[in-house]
């Protein structure tokens, strides 16, 4: 355990809590509208109508997507560390998670723009 | 403490065997629900991104994922989300507001909110499962 790793873990721990607070808000809004609304069969028109109803929905998902991906991958990173992997494997997994997170963020935001 | 773990599942069972308490239970539950939700997240992004290929593609995929079985599985998904969210808020409260001594009481409050949430969820989703 060198000092750099400790700093990285501390940031990860803190950002996990901040993203967790943000996700509580994002998820309650997202799930309440999509799963507890009157219409429960979701289709393209319904999603488009909702997202074009307010400019803020675009902003909502552009923030929500990277936040949820960071929280998810940082959380799985914690599980990976439970396994006590070698430093080489840690670097490989970390690089893979960062690549996956960045690609999925752009892909997710691109997917949302279809409805805007 | 830092020895390499030979089997991750065994490690979790061992931890439970050593510390059968609320803290270990919620720690294990948080890892289990977190893993399920992380896997679901990527499946969700793939399904929603079908919109990139047009409304027909999106609607076809949405028909596949809106069946009695998937509506039933959504109850399980919402249970995972609620457990992870409530336990996550419990962790944040104990970590950032320094209320570690109250963590057991917060656990039971979170548990009560979870039960109420599941009663509402079941009342909404069970009719959907049988409405197809």
Interacting residues of B13 by C-beta distance below 8 A, sequence separation 6+: none
**Mind spelling out the 3-state secondary structure of B35-89?**
HHHHHHHHHHHHHHHHHHHCHHHHHHHHHHCCCHHHHHHHHHHHHHHHHHHHHHH
Residues of B with CB under 8 A from a CB of A: 2-5, 8, 11-12, 31, 34-35, 37-38, 41-42, 45, 48-49, 51-52, 55, 58-59, 62, 66, 71, 74, 78, 81, 85, 88-89, 91-92, 95-96, 124, 128
Contact B74 A45 (CB under 8 A): no
pTM of the model: 0.90
Measured CA angle at A32 (ends A26, A35), to 5 deg? 120
A69 touches chain B (CB under 8 A): yes
CA distance linking residue B63 with residue A48, whole number of Å: 17
Counting the structural domains of chain A, the total is 1
Which chain A residue is nearest to residue B37, measuring alpha carbons?
A72
pLDDT digits 0-9 by tens, A68-102: 999 999 999 999 988 888 999 999 999 999 999 99
Interacting residues of A57 by C-beta distance below 8 A, sequence separation 6+: A50, A51, A116
pLDDT digits 0-9 by tens, B43-70: 999 999 999 999 999 999 999 999 999 9
More reliable by pLDDT, A4 or A103: A103
Is the residue at B53 inside a domain? yes
State residue B129's pLDDT score.
85
User: Among A45-54, A105-114, B11-20, B56-65, which is the least confidently predicted range?
Assistant: B11-20
Average pLDDT over residues A3-11: 66
State residue A3's pLDDT score.
47
State residue B13's pLDDT score.
84
Is the residue at B2 inside a domain? no
Q: Residue B84's Cα: distance from chain center in Å?
A: 5
* Interface ipTM above 0.95: no
Of A86, A23, A94, nearest to B84 by C-alpha is A23
Kindly report the CATH number assigned to the domain that includes residue A77.
1.20.1300.10
Token representation of residue A34: 């999509």
Counting the structural domains of chain B, the total is 1
Is the residue at B33 inside a domain? yes
Q: How confident is the model at residue A1 (pLDDT cuts 50, 70, 90)?
A: very low
Is the residue at B1 inside a domain? no
Structural domain containing residue A41: 3-113
Kindly report the CATH number assigned to the domain that includes residue B17.
1.20.1300.10
Structural domain containing residue B68: 8-129
Of A71, A35, A46, nearest to B84 by C-alpha is A71
In this predicted structure, the answer to whether residue B116 has a pLDDT above a threshold of 80 is yes
Is the residue at B90 inside a domain? yes
């Amino acid at each position: 355990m060198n000092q750099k790793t400790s700093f990285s873990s501390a940031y990860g721990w803190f950002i996990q809590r901040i993203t967790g607070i943000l996700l509580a808000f994002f998820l309650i809004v997202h799930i309440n509208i999509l799963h507890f609304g009157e219409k429960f069969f979701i289709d393209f028109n319904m999603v488009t109508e909702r997202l074009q109803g307010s400019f803020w929905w675009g902003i909502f998902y552009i923030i929500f997507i990277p936040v949820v991906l960071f929280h998810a991958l940082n959380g799985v990173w914690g599980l990976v560390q439970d396994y006590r992997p070698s430093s080489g494997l840690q670097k490989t997994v970390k690089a893979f998670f960062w690549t996956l997170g960045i690609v999925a963020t752009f892909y997710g935001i691109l997917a949302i723009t279809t409805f805007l | 403490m830092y020895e390499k773990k030979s089997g991750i599942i065994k490690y979790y069972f061992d931890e439970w065997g050593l510390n059968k308490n609320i803290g270990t239970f919620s720690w294990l539950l948080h890892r289990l629900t977190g893993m399920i939700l992380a896997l679901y997240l990527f499946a969700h992004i793939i399904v929603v991104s079908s919109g990139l290929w047009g409304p027909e593609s999106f609607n076809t995929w949405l028909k596949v994922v809106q069946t009695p079985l998937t509506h039933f599985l959504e109850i399980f998904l919402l249970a995972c989300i609620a457990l992870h969210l409530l336990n996550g808020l419990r962790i944040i409260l104990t970590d950032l507001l320094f209320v570690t001594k109250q963590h057991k009481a917060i656990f039971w409050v979170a548990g009560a909110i979870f039960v109420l949430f599941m009663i509402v969820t079941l009342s909404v989703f069970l009719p959907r499962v049988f409405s197809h």
